[in-house]
Structure 1
Amino acid sequence: MTPTRQRLVQFLFTAAMIAGGAAAFLIITANKPELKRTQPAPPVPMVRVMTVEATDLAIPIGGEGTVQPLREIDLVPQVSGKIVEISPALVDGGRFSKGDLLLRIESEDYELAVTLADARVKDAESNLVFTEEEAAAAVEEWRLLERKDDPPPLVAKIPQLAAARARLAAEKADLKKARLNLARTEVRAPFNGRVSSESVGLGQYVSTGQTLATIFSTNAAEIVVPLEDSALFWFHVPGFTPGDGPGAPVRITARIAGRDLTWAGRVVRAEGKMDPRTRLINVVVRVDNPYQRKPPLAAGLFVTVDIEGQRLTDAVAIPSAALRENRTVWVVGDDGVLSFRSVDVARVMPNQAIIKGGLLSGERVVTSPLRSVTDGMKVRVSAGGRPS
């Protein structure tokens, strides 16, 4: 085969292959099924829920405050002199009982004053007896003169008797004062308490009215708790809110000596006026015998206060995050449909909301957030959405 003929055969073979491929492509394209456009199904969001339980609930009112002694006074002497005795309890933090001797002032000068005052009383008594005898003798002489009228006051020595009686009364008063000053050389505790601070030493000369120590009573302690005006609707404050009887019970919690402890107390009053800066009302809680156990509810301790408010029937507690705008909650039905539900809110706290109407036991409330939510949308419940 000549070269020209050979090139012609190759050309024809190549052209036939190209034509066959084109024919096959046209046949496949003609038989290809037409693709239809479809809208993908929207994703169903997943939520966490809690199953609510309606029950009787006491509205909790929380606050904080600092423990203060019910009574705190400065210990001052009523007489002056040198300190000759000091109780071992008269130190910072010392403990004492009512009537205990705290310190003694040198009493010799005051004992002498009592002796002198007693002598003056006896002299005044003697003078009064002598004047009474003189007056009786003068009246008798007047009658011996056969006078029918009463003797004049000067004859009867009435002014002298009055002066003698007044002198005796004054001397007795001086004696009483001298004895009182002698008793005051012993400074005793006016109540059960502890020493807050002291500044006195043995042999020190003290003056009347000089502060020697600061002491406070341990019979009771008080805690001033600032609260919003609306919070007082839920519990009784004697003398401030309507009603009679004792104030609301209180639970006090504090951490001291490395442990969390609780004490029972009661609301006793509110302070006289609202704080003009914070617009809060200071409610006073009292705890009896704060030093009865160890460690004690010590003065100056910062504590958490939980006041027991009114009790609501068929109320529901939910996380505050589950309460949405306009006082609504999201409820998920058995069919997985989320619906908006308006509820009657009793009180909202930082971590909890109390619902007094609008929810029934067994209903599921959404507790997790959603970026986009509509009433009636479908949702999936997370496996972790167990009842709380």
Structure 2
Amino acid sequence: MKLNRMNVIVTVLSVGSIFAALGYTASKLPPAPNKKPPVTEAQVKPQENVAPATLLPQVGVVLATGEAYQAEVIGFGEAKPRFELTLSAEVSGKVILIDRQFESGQVIKKGTVLGKINDTSYQQALTQAQTDVAQAELDLLEEQREGEQAKAEWLRSGLSGEPASPLVLRTPQLAQATAALDNAKLALKKAKQDLAYTQITAPFDALVVSRDVQPGSYVQTGTLLGTLYSVAEVEVSVPLSEQQWQTLPAFDNAELAKTPWGVTVESADGLKQWRGYIERVEQHLTQTSRQRSLIVVVDNPLEQQSDLYPGTFVKTRINGQSIDNLWQLPSSSISQQGDIWFVDDNGLLAKSAANIAFEKGGFVYVTPMTNKQDMPAKMQIVKRPLSSFKVGTKVLAKVEV
């Protein structure tokens, strides 16, 4: 079959148009990037054996050297009055007067009359005792006279030797009259004392903590009237561990009585301070803590610039003796497990149990590790150890101030 001439011409023109379009599109595309030559094995191998320093974990360290430091012992305790008195009635009767000072919070002087018990019966008892004493004195005088008369009659009788009975010279009668007078005087003394006890008085300078009677109350001997705390001084019992005792001098109570050892007493929040002293040390261990305590005293606690109230929980700072060869480290250098982490001569992490002698001013003072025979003069102690640390890890130590 013969092709139509017109169809052939159309086909040729179409093919030419397609090739022209492809050529135009290829001219607009960006040129292909140049390929790098392949890396040889000789170029890769040296880089695999190099560990750049920048890839090592960096830890901050402080340089520790053994020096002498004065120990400081921190203890805690409660400020308590030296005397805590439960004031009781000495005689029975009706309370007819309560003084305005006999109220909680009042500070009273020794001898202050706090109240009064009806004393009518005690006045009568005193009068009777005085009468009994006068009668006993009269009886004694009469007995002495009768004894002298009996002795004179015995001498006039002309009899030799001693009478057959002491009754002849009235010796027993005289002894009885003398004893009766002594008893009457003691009864008078008691009557005066009972009368004095009808006045409720403070036995020492005191803080009134509570009052337990009212005007009109009837009290018996021993009835609770109130509670008083002495205000001349407060005591703080400070229990210490055996390690803390070793950093203090060997205190002797006789020496402390002559030369008290100064102590700084602080409030729990550290905002208030008082000056105290060690008055004595206890010579026994408590059954609860199995520790021995020292007694710190603060004089005139309610006359300080900031009052120290009984019952206040306080912190005591006690200067101890100077201890040689200690490391001064920041408190942060002790891990939660109580270890010290350090960087050895090979740049590897290591650790040792911390033997803390004492703490002071944000620092801990540690006894150097004795198991390191080749320990350098300055140890690189990690300032802030992490819980993720592992012994033997290669690190880059950076000294911090």
- TM-score scaled by structure 1? 0.76
Deviation at 1:71, TM superposition (A): 1.1
Number of equivalences: 360
- Which residue number in structure 2 is paired with residue 173 of structure 1? 186
> Residue type of the partner of 1:366?
V
Which segment is superposed worse, 103-112 or 127-136? 103-112
- Which residue number in structure 2 is paired with residue 144 of structure 1? 156
Q: Deviations over 1:85-109 (max 9, x none)?
A: 3232211111111222222222222
In the alignment, structure 1 residue 192 sits paired with structure 2 residue 205: yes
Unaligned ranges ≥5, structure 1: 12-24
Which segment is superposed worse, 299-308 or 373-382? 373-382
Residue identity over aligned pairs, in percent, reads 26
Q: 2:116 aligns with which of 99, 104, 107?
A: 104
For residues 243 and 108 of structure 2, what CA distance do their matches in structure 1 show? 42
> Residue type of the partner of 1:41?
A
Equivalent residues of 1:312, 1:356 under 8 A apart: no
In the alignment, structure 1 residue 229 sits paired with structure 2 residue 242: yes
Deviation at 1:280, TM superposition (A): 4.3
- Which residue number in structure 2 is paired with residue 123 of structure 1? 135
Deviation at 1:292, TM superposition (A): 1.9
For residues 122 and 155 of structure 1, what CA distance do their matches in structure 2 show? 27
- Which residue number in structure 1 is paired with residue 365 of structure 2? 354
Equivalent residues of 1:55, 1:314 under 8 A apart: yes
For residues 292 and 236 of structure 1, what CA distance do their matches in structure 2 show? 31
For residues 294 and 30 of structure 1, what CA distance do their matches in structure 2 show? 85
For residues 326 and 141 of structure 1, what CA distance do their matches in structure 2 show? 102
For residues 130 and 32 of structure 1, what CA distance do their matches in structure 2 show? 146
| SS of alignment partner, residue 123 of structure 1 | helix
Deviation at 1:174, TM superposition (A): 0.9
Q: 1:75 aligns with which of 80, 87, 108?
A: 87
Deviation at 1:208, TM superposition (A): 0.9
Q: 2:313 aligns with which of 302, 315, 334?
A: 302
- Which residue number in structure 1 is paired with residue 218 of structure 2? 205
> Residue type of the partner of 1:189?
A
| SS of alignment partner, residue 196 of structure 1 | strand
Q: 2:272 aligns with which of 261, 270, 273?
A: 261
In the alignment, structure 1 residue 85 sits paired with structure 2 residue 97: yes
For residues 173 and 345 of structure 1, what CA distance do their matches in structure 2 show? 68
For residues 50 and 99 of structure 1, what CA distance do their matches in structure 2 show? 63
| SS of alignment partner, residue 122 of structure 1 | helix
| SS of alignment partner, residue 308 of structure 1 | strand
For residues 395 and 383 of structure 2, what CA distance do their matches in structure 1 show? 16
The 5 Å alignment of 1:1-388 reads 34=40, 36-37=43-44, 38-39=47-48, 41-42=51-52, 43-51=55-63, 56-151=68-163, 152-236=165-249, 238=251, 245=256, 249-254=262-267, 260-267=271-278, 268-270=280-282, 272-276=284-288, 278-313=289-324, 315-323=326-334, 329-330=341-342, 345-347=355-357, 352-357=363-368, 365-369=381-385, 371=388, 377=394, 379=396, 381=398, 385=400, 387=401
For residues 213 and 228 of structure 2, what CA distance do their matches in structure 1 show? 13
Measured on the aligned residues, the alpha-carbon RMSD in Å equals 4.0
- Return closer, same or farther for 1:139/1:48 CA change in 2, 3 Å cut-off: same
For residues 362 and 30 of structure 1, what CA distance do their matches in structure 2 show? 53
Q: Deviations over 1:325-345 (max 9, x none)?
A: 997552589xx9578697994
For residues 101 and 283 of structure 2, what CA distance do their matches in structure 1 show? 34
Deviation at 1:47, TM superposition (A): 2.1
Which segment is superposed worse, 184-193 or 245-254? 245-254
| SS of alignment partner, residue 119 of structure 1 | helix
| SS of alignment partner, residue 48 of structure 1 | strand
For residues 186 and 63 of structure 2, what CA distance do their matches in structure 1 show? 81
Q: Deviations over 1:188-233 (max 9, x none)?
A: 2121110111111223222111010010111221223344333322
For residues 338 and 190 of structure 2, what CA distance do their matches in structure 1 show? 75
| SS of alignment partner, residue 215 of structure 2 | coil
Deviation at 1:352, TM superposition (A): 4.2
Deviation at 1:178, TM superposition (A): 0.8
Deviation at 1:236, TM superposition (A): 4.6
For residues 246 and 394 of structure 2, what CA distance do their matches in structure 1 show? 39
Deviation at 1:153, TM superposition (A): 1.6
> Residue type of the partner of 2:264?
R
- Return closer, same or farther for 1:209/1:373 CA change in 2, 3 Å cut-off: closer
Deviation at 1:378, TM superposition (A): 5.7
> Residue type of the partner of 1:34?
T
Deviation at 1:117, TM superposition (A): 1.0
For residues 134 and 29 of structure 1, what CA distance do their matches in structure 2 show? 153
For residues 310 and 219 of structure 1, what CA distance do their matches in structure 2 show? 30
Which segment is superposed worse, 73-82 or 368-377? 368-377
Equivalent residues of 1:274, 1:281 under 8 A apart: yes
For residues 226 and 193 of structure 1, what CA distance do their matches in structure 2 show? 27
Q: Deviations over 1:124-156 (max 9, x none)?
A: 111111121112112212222222323442221
For residues 83 and 133 of structure 1, what CA distance do their matches in structure 2 show? 48
| SS of alignment partner, residue 272 of structure 2 | strand
